[in-house]
Chain A
Amino acid sequence: MTRTHYLNVQYGFRSWLLTKDHKRIALLYLASITLFFFLGGAFAVMVRLELVTPPGDLMQAETYNRMFTMHGVMMIFFFLIPSIPAVLGNFLVPMMIGARDLAFPRVNLLSWYLYIIGGVFALVAAVSGGVDTGWTFYTPYSSTYSNSAVIATAVGVFVAGFSSILTGLNFIVTIHKMRAPGLTWFRLPLFIWAHYATSVIQILGTPVLAITIVLLAAERLAGVGIFDPKLGGDPILFQHLFWFYSHPAVYIMILPGMGVISELVTCFSRKKIFGYGFIAMSSVAIAVLGFLVWAHHMFVSGQSIYASMVFSVLSFLVAVPSAIKVFNWTATLYKGSIVYMTPILYAFGFIGLFTIGGLTGLFLSTLAIDVHVHDTYFVVAHFHYIMVGGAVMAYLGGIHFWWPKISGRMYPEGWARFSALVLFVGFNLTFFPQFLLGYLGMPRRYHAYPEEFQVLNVMSSAGASILGVGYLIPMVYLVWSMRYGKPAPDNPWGAKGLEWTTSSPPVTENFEQTPVVTEEAYVYQVEEEAPVG
């Protein structure tokens, strides 16, 4: 006799495509963002293949432009932005606060459909020749000169943006209004704090990108002057509006990852998290300060030097809450009884790589150094350390940590540890040489380069192939484990948090009865039983 849970309560396409269960919608997102992840990865493969040799021999410069643009668009708007919030957040936010679902289940399903519609536009753009503006769509190139599928891509990004807004709206209302009895704000898991801060950015930032895209489309379609200086427009205004969203968007990508890491670190050190209040508030601080640093992308755009100085100082400031988190995680690990299982391996990877990404961010917010490394591979390496080394590591760590709850099955621990190691090695081999390349002066977004850069580029491309293998292994064993994995107990890690008090996988309404919370988060004691693998 098998137990009824959210996965087997109904079968068939209709039961998935019309579901209002946040857990099923999370799985819809999981499947669709995985598709876009591998699509975006395929474009990265083309980029790295071209860069194995100095001359532009594999493809034309125009083709190369399309490759790196499609890589950026797919990865940022269709993978990283939705990744942790729409999959893990969707699955976990209601469970962690003891609710039966998000506040607006139909809106949640609508957000997935918007994501899919946006994704279809991006795919149409991809097969109709792609777009070559860079993911930043800078005007007037994008609005006047580019002969690529700018409008289709822009519509895709516009629509997907509203999917992101609706997810954020749902989280904010759910966290405010639907916490279980006894679950006060300062008893919330840090994952919830991180998602709350993320949602605020999604609500306040994304619409500005949306209207910017409308303006861009108006200029391109009607040929009227908005950003094109030839027609009286101001291209710098586009950059301001674009980065007003797109810098905070970086925090949409990394903040949920920080939330995941807080959960992993405390669980696998068997120790109460160090500095709960500081970690919670640093998420809020990042969300606030993150809105005040956008013009550090524009130090060489010709903007006022005084503006640049202010934005430089503010960019240094935003590093403070990030550093607070890293110090607190480290202090949590210190004298903890660390259990070296896959999720914490990813957390280790995150802490190390995020720290490198963050510190090199300080190089870039320094005006004089930025002039030297602006638009070089140094920048590329920096943000890949944050987004791939940070956000994707956290995403995978979280997927492994909550996989028993999501699927009701254990993943194979040996393979998982092995692939975490492969990822770490592949990642560093791919991106560390790019710091050197950038510092030596190799600009980004060119398909050919001088011969002296070849060794480092070959290293990077070799690393990328290892990285690719590292992503394929979990893809295979996670799918395998859904059928053949060991059945998971309700709480395989001995973890705290309401999501572990319910069955694996949970029933449709998550809990048999509404839980009552009587203690703070993360009251781990070292003597408690160690997790079973």
Chain B
Amino acid sequence: MADIAHPAELAHQFEDMDQQLDSSVFGMWVFLAQEIMFFGGLFVAYTIYRGAYPEAFREASHHLDLRLGGFNTVVLIASSLTMALAVRAAQLGQRAAIVANLLLTLALGSVFLAVKAYEYHHKYVEHLVPGLGFSFEGSHPANAQMFFVFYFLMTGMHALHMVVGAGLLLYFIHKARRGVYHAGYYGPVEIMGLYWHFVDIVWIFLFPMLYLIG
């Protein structure tokens, strides 16, 4: 079955590049549906307990640093912009622009993670990490602890997705530098973009749910 026009990037199971691109983009959307349900379970549990213990959650939320959270929100939105520019550059086959924008995205993602790590450390110093000598001076320490359980689980899961995304970015930067992506083959960058935007959007929900309920 020797195809006349059989580009090297075309996997054997696909008929043509369009089908391959469509399939991989659709596959990422299906994966993101799965991700939404995964985070959805956490959001439901959080919402139930916030409804049950509104006072304690409000009180506990005051211990989060609004400025750092807000700063990180801006950083992530900026990284979504650079990611979108990288996808655009890939579609146009501009190698230097792909690499530059992916690098910027990686840098912004790293800033986010660094700030997050600082926040975590700060919580540890303040004895606000459940399971690690948690102590809370307020009217409902047990329920405040639950707030922090969800804070760490939700932002932790999100940070884990960021770390995976950063690893993928490194891989794509490496590939892009070697000129793998061009106007006829940019699918991987495009689905990387979808993933990155999804992770950003999760944060857009996490930020008000955790930081802005005071």
Binding site for B on A (CB under 8 A): 94, 99-105, 107, 165, 169-170, 172-174, 176-178, 203-208, 210-212, 214-215, 218, 221-226, 231-234, 237, 241, 244, 509, 513-514
Main secondary structure of the interface of A (DSSP, over half): helix
* Beta-carbon nearest neighbor of B31 in chain A: A169
Question: Contact at B48–A207, with CB atoms within 8 Å?
Answer: no
Is B12 part of the binding interface, using a Cβ–Cβ cutoff of 8 Å? yes
B8: interface (CB < 8 Å): no
B192 to A: closest C-beta gap in Å: 16
The answer for the CA separation of A101 and B30 in the assembled complex, in Å, is 19
Q: Which residues of B contact A211 (CB under 8 A)?
A: 38-42
Choose among A169, A207, A223, A224 the residue that contacts B38 (Cβ–Cβ < 8 A).
A207
Residues in chain B near residue A241, CB distance under 8 A: 41, 44-45
A101 and B13 contact, CB distance less than 8 A: yes
Which one, B64-72, B94-102, B143-151, B172-180, is touching chain A? B143-151
Give complex CA distance A237, B49 in Å: 10
Q: How far does the alpha carbon of A107 sit from the alpha carbon of B1 in the complex, in Å?
A: 25
Q: Mark B129-148, 1 if CB is under 8 A from A, else 0.
A: 01100100000001101100
Cβ A224 vs Cβ B145 within 8 A: yes
Question: Are A231 and B142 within 8 A (Cβ)?
Answer: yes
Given known contacts A203-B33, A208-B40, A233 and B13 CB-to-CB distance under 8 angstroms: no
Could you say which residues of chain B place their CB within 8 Å of the CB of A218?
A: 149, 153
> Top 3 A-B pairs ranked by shortest CB distance?
A222-B131, A211-B41, A207-B38
Q: Are A232 and B13 in contact (CB under 8 A)?
A: no
- B residues contacting A by CB (< 8 A) are 1, 11-15, 19, 22-24, 26-27, 30-31, 33-35, 37-42, 44-45, 48-49, 52-53, 130-131, 134, 142-143, 145-146, 149, 153, 157
Contact at A509–B30, with CB atoms within 8 Å?
no
Contacts of A208 in B (CB 8 A): 37-38, 40-41
- Nearest Cβ on chain B to A151's Cβ, whole angstroms: 15
B34 touches A165 (CB 8 A): yes
A152–B14 CA distance with the chains assembled, in angstroms: 40
Q: Are B1 and A224 in contact (CB under 8 A)?
A: no
21 cross-chain CB contacts under 8 A: A94-B13, A101-B13, A102-B13, A103-B13, A103-B14, A165-B34, A169-B30, A170-B27, A173-B23, A176-B26, A177-B23, A204-B33, A208-B38, A210-B38, A214-B157, A215-B45, A224-B130, A224-B149, A232-B142, A241-B44, A241-B45
CB pair B34 A207 closer than 8 Å: yes
The answer for the CA separation of A210 and B12 in the assembled complex, in Å, is 33
Q: Shortest Cβ distance from A158 into chain B, in angstroms?
A: 11
Given contacts A173-B30, A177-B26, A218-B149, contact A226 B13 (CB under 8 A): no
Assembly CA distance A176 to B30 (angstroms): 12
A177–B19 CB distance below 8 A: yes
- Contact among A178, A232, A237 with B143 in the assembled complex (CB-CB below 8 Å): A232
* Most B CB within 10 A of own CB, among A104, A232, A234: A232
- Chain A residues, Cβ within 8 Å of B134: 224
Are B23 and A234 neighbours in the complex by a CB distance under 8 Å? no
CA distance A241 to B35 in the complex (A): 16
User: Which of A104, A207, A212, A224 is within 8 Å of B27, CB to CB?
Assistant: A104
Verify B38–A99 contact, CB threshold 8 A.
Answer: no
The chain A residue sitting closest to B148, CB to CB, is A224
Q: Is the CB of A103 within 8 A of B27?
A: yes
On chain A, the residues within 8 Å of B44 by CB distance are: 241
Q: Is the CB of A514 within 8 A of B27?
A: no
Q: List, in ascending order, chain A residues with CB within 8 A of B33's CB.
A: 203-204
Residue of chain A at shortest CB distance from B21: A177
Distance of A274 from chain B, by nearest CB (Å): 32
Question: Would A169 and B142 be within 8 Å (CB), given that A207-B34, A207-B38, A224-B149 are in contact?
Answer: no
Kindly state the separation between the CA atoms of A225 and B14 in the bound complex, as whole angstroms.
Answer: 50
Known contacts A103-B23, A178-B19; 16 further A-B pairs (Cβ under 8 A): A165-B34, A169-B30, A173-B27, A173-B30, A208-B38, A215-B41, A215-B42, A215-B45, A215-B153, A218-B149, A218-B153, A225-B142, A226-B45, A232-B143, A233-B146, A513-B1
Which residues from B are CB-within-8-Å of A210? 38, 41
- Nearest-neighbor residue (CB-CB) of B131 within chain A: A222
- Tell me the smallest distance from the CB of A33 to a CB of chain B, in Å: 22
Known: A178-B23, A214-B153, A225-B149. Contact between A169 and B15, CB under 8 A?
A: no
Q: In angstroms, how far is the closest chain B Cβ from the Cβ of A228?
A: 11
Q: Is the CB of B34 within 8 A of A169?
A: yes
Q: Which of B12, B19, B149 has the most CB of A within 10 A?
A: B149
Q: How far is it, in angstroms, between the C-alpha of A237 and the C-alpha of B41 when the chains are bound?
A: 11
Of A102, A104, A205, A233, the residue contacting B37 (CB under 8 A) is: A205
How far is it, in angstroms, between the C-alpha of A214 and the C-alpha of B150 when the chains are bound?
A: 12
Minimum CB–CB distance for A62 against chain B, Å:
28
| Contact residues in A for B15 (Cβ distance below 8 Å) | 514
Chain A residue numbers with a CB within 8 Å of B27 are 103-104, 107, 169-170, 173
Q: Compute how far the CA of A124 lies from the CA of B157 in the bound complex, rounded to whole angstroms.
A: 26
Distance, CA A211 to CA B157, complexed state (A)? 10
Give Cα A215 to B30, complex, Å: 24
Task: Determine how close the nearest CB of chain A comes to the CB of B41; give it in whole angstroms.
Answer: 4
